[in-house]
Amino acid sequence: MKDIKKVIEKLKKEINILEHAYYVLDNPLVDDTEFDAKLNLLKKLEKENPDLVTNDSPTQRVGGLISEKFEKHIHKFPMLSLDNAFDKEDLLEFSSNINKQVKFNSHSFFVEPKIDGLSISLIYEKGKLVKGVTRGDGIQGEDVTFNVRTIRSIPLTITDNSDYFEVRGEVFLSKKEFHRINAERKEQGEEIFANPRNAAAGTLRQLNPRIVASRKLDIYLYYYLNRERFETHSDSLDYINSLGFKVNKLGKQCSNIDEVYSHIELIKDKRIALDYEIDGAVVKVNDFKLYDEIGYTSKFPKWAIAYKYPAEIKSTVLKEIFATVGRTGKITYNAILEPVSLAGTTVQAATLHNAEYIYQKKIKVGANVKVKKAGDIIPEVVEVVEDESYPDLKEWIKVDNCPACGSYLEIFSDEVDQYCINFNCERKIIKSIEHFVSRDAMNIEGMSIKIIEKLYDNKIIKNVIDLYHLENKKKEILQLEKMGEKLLSNLLLAIEKSKTNDANRFLFGLGIRYVGSKTSKLLLENFKSIDNLLKANKEEIEKIFDVGPKVAQSIIDWISIESNIMLVNSFKKLGLNMSYSKHSNHNNSPIAGKSFVITGTLSKPRNYFVELIESNGGKVLNSISKSTNFLLAGDEAGSKLTKAKNLNINIINEEVFLNILEEE
Residue 416 lies in a domain: no
Q: Is 308 annotated as a binding residue?
A: yes
CA 283 from centroid of its chain's CA atoms: 28
Q: Pick from 514, 543, 573: which residue ends a domain?
A: 573
pLDDT at position 377, please?
A: 54
The string of pLDDT tens digits covering residues 339-372 is 887 765 678 888 898 999 999 999 999 999 999 8
Q: Is 33 annotated as a binding residue?
A: yes
Cα distance between residue 40 and residue 50, in whole Å: 15
Q: Give the CATH number of the domain where residue 440 resides.
A: 1.10.150.20
Burial of residue 594, with CB atoms counted within 10 A of its CB: 0-12 exposed, 13-18 middle, 19 or more buried: middle
Q: Are 38 and 103 in a shared domain?
A: no
Q: Pick from 308, 331, 366: which residue ends a domain?
A: 308
Residue 315's SS3 state is strand
Cα distance between residue 314 and residue 345, in whole Å: 12
Looking at 27-41, 379-393, 528-542, 623-637, which range is the least confident one? Answer: 27-41
Q: Are 158 and 187 in a shared domain?
A: yes
pLDDT at position 220, please?
A: 94
Q: Which of 206, 62, 215 is nearest to 140 (CA)?
A: 62
Predicted confidence band at 662 (pLDDT cuts at 50, 70, 90)? low
Predicted confidence band at 661 (pLDDT cuts at 50, 70, 90)? confident
Q: Are 35 and 79 in a shared domain?
A: no
Q: Is 420 annotated as a binding residue?
A: yes
pLDDT at position 25, please?
A: 52
Q: What is the DSSP letter of 374?
A: S
Looking at 168-177, 241-250, 540-549, which range is the least confident one? Answer: 540-549
User: Contacts from 153-159 at CB under 8 Å and sequence distance 24+?
Assistant: 153/218, 153/219, 153/246, 154/122, 154/129, 154/219, 154/245, 155/129, 155/243, 155/244, 155/245, 156/128, 156/129, 156/655, 157/127, 157/128, 157/129, 158/124, 158/127, 158/243, 158/244, 158/245, 159/127, 159/243
Residue 418 lies in a domain: no
pLDDT at position 100, please?
A: 84
Per-residue burial over 44-63, b if 16 or more Cβ lie within 10 Å, else e, is: ebbeeeeeeeeeebbbebbb
Cα distance between residue 12 and residue 195, in whole Å: 26
Q: Give the pLDDT mean for 266-271.
A: 91
Query: Cβ contacts of residue 642 below 8 Å, gap of 6+?
Result: none
pLDDT at position 425, please?
A: 86
Residue 431 lies in a domain: yes
Backbone angles phi, psi at 411, to 5 degrees: -120, 120
Q: Give the CATH number of the domain where residue 628 resides.
A: 3.40.50.10190
Nearest-5° Cα angle at 61, 56 to 66: 100
Residue 88 bears catalytic tag:
no
The residues pairing with 123 across neighbouring beta strands, listed in sequence order, are 131, 166
Q: Give the pLDDT mean for 532-548.
A: 87
Residue 547 lies in a domain: yes
Q: Global pTM?
A: 0.50
Mean pLDDT over each residue of the chain, to the nearest integer: 85
Residue 377 or residue 618, greater confidence: 618
Q: Are 298 and 173 in a shared domain?
A: yes
Catalytic, out of 12, 100, 114, 518: 114
Cα distance between residue 648 and residue 542, in whole Å: 43
For strands 252-254 and 72-74, give the pairing. unpaired
Q: Is 387 annotated as a binding residue?
A: no
Check pLDDT > 60 for residue 536: yes
Predicted confidence band at 78 (pLDDT cuts at 50, 70, 90)? confident
Residue 655 lies in a domain: yes
SS (H, E, C) 501-544: CCHHHHHHHCCCCCCCHHHHHHHHHHHCEHHHHHHCCHHHHHCC
* Residues recorded for the chain: 664
Q: Give the pLDDT mean for 641-647.
A: 85
Query: Cβ contacts of residue 322 below 8 Å, gap of 6+?
Result: 333, 334, 336, 403
Q: Are 50 and 81 in a shared domain?
A: no
Contact 116, 279 (CB under 8 A): yes
Cα distance between residue 606 and residue 304, in whole Å: 45
Cα distance between residue 461 and residue 436, in whole Å: 14
Check pLDDT > 90 for residue 166: yes
Q: Are 87 and 234 in a shared domain?
A: yes
Check pLDDT > 60 for residue 333: yes
Residue 624 lies in a domain: yes
> CB 531: neighbour CB atoms within 10 A?
13
Query: Cβ contacts of residue 397 below 8 Å, gap of 6+?
Result: none
Q: Are 232 and 292 in a shared domain?
A: yes
For strands 84-85 and 313-325, give the pairing. unpaired
The string of pLDDT tens digits covering residues 270-311 is 988 888 988 899 999 999 989 988 888 767 899 999 998 877
Looking at 66-70, 198-202, 363-367, 597-601, which range is the least confident one? Answer: 66-70
Interaxial angle between packed helices 196-204 and 175-187, expressed in degrees from 0 to 180 and rounded to the nearest 10 = 80
Residue 650 or residue 615, greater confidence: 650
Looking at 16-25, 94-103, 560-569, 643-652, which range is the least confident one? Answer: 16-25
The string of pLDDT tens digits covering residues 28-47 is 777 777 877 888 888 888 87
Residue 482 or residue 418, greater confidence: 418
CA 423 from centroid of its chain's CA atoms: 31
pLDDT at position 343, please?
A: 63
Cα distance between residue 197 and residue 360, in whole Å: 26
Q: Strands (DSSP E) along 260-411, which ranges?
A: 278-285, 304-308, 313-325, 331-342, 345-353, 368-372, 380-385, 409-411
Q: Are 199 and 260 in a shared domain?
A: yes
pLDDT at position 55, please?
A: 57
Ranked by mean pLDDT, the top range of 65-69, 375-379, 508-512 is 508-512
pLDDT at position 455, please?
A: 94
As a whole-number percent, the residues of the chain with pLDDT over 70 amount to 91
Query: Cβ contacts of residue 379 below 8 Å, gap of 6+?
Result: 342, 347, 349, 350, 351, 371, 372, 373
Q: Are 93 and 202 in a shared domain?
A: yes
pLDDT at position 19, please?
A: 67
Side chain identity at 225, as an amino acid letter? L
Cα distance between residue 357 and residue 360, in whole Å: 5
Q: Which of 153, 116, 378 is nearest to 271 (CA)?
A: 116
Q: Give the pLDDT mean for 306-333.
A: 89
- For the chain, what is the domain count? 5
Q: Give the CATH number of the domain where residue 357 resides.
A: 2.40.50.140
Residue 65 lies in a domain: no
Q: Are 111 and 201 in a shared domain?
A: yes
Residue 582's SS3 state is coil
Contact 463, 434 (CB under 8 A): no
Q: Are 377 and 398 in a shared domain?
A: yes
SS (H, E, C) 242-266: HCCCCCCCCCEEECCHHHHHHHHHH
Radius of gyration of the chain (CA): 28
Query: Cβ contacts of residue 387 below 8 Å, gap of 6+?
Result: 368
Q: Pick from 285, 308, 331: which residue ends a domain?
A: 308
Q: Is 254 annotated as a binding residue?
A: no
For strands 345-353 and 331-342, give the pairing. antiparallel
Q: Give the pLDDT mean for 505-523.
A: 88
Q: Is 34 annotated as a binding residue?
A: yes
Domain span holding position 317: 313-411
Q: Are 240 and 257 in a shared domain?
A: yes
Query: Cβ contacts of residue 7 below 8 Å, gap of 6+?
Result: 45
Query: Cβ contacts of residue 214 below 8 Å, gap of 6+?
Result: 662
Backbone angles phi, psi at 114, to 5 degrees: -95, 100
Check pLDDT > 50 for residue 24: no
Interaxial angle between packed helices 606-615 and 517-527, expressed in degrees from 0 to 180 and rounded to the nearest 10 = 110
pLDDT at position 329, please?
A: 86
The string of pLDDT tens digits covering residues 394-443 is 999 999 999 988 989 988 777 789 988 786 788 888 988 998 998 778 98
Q: Give the pLDDT mean for 45-69.
A: 64
Residue-wise DSSP of 166-216: EEEEEEE--HHHHHHHHHHHHHTTPPPPSSHHHHHHHHHT-S-HHHHHHTT
Residue 578 lies in a domain: no
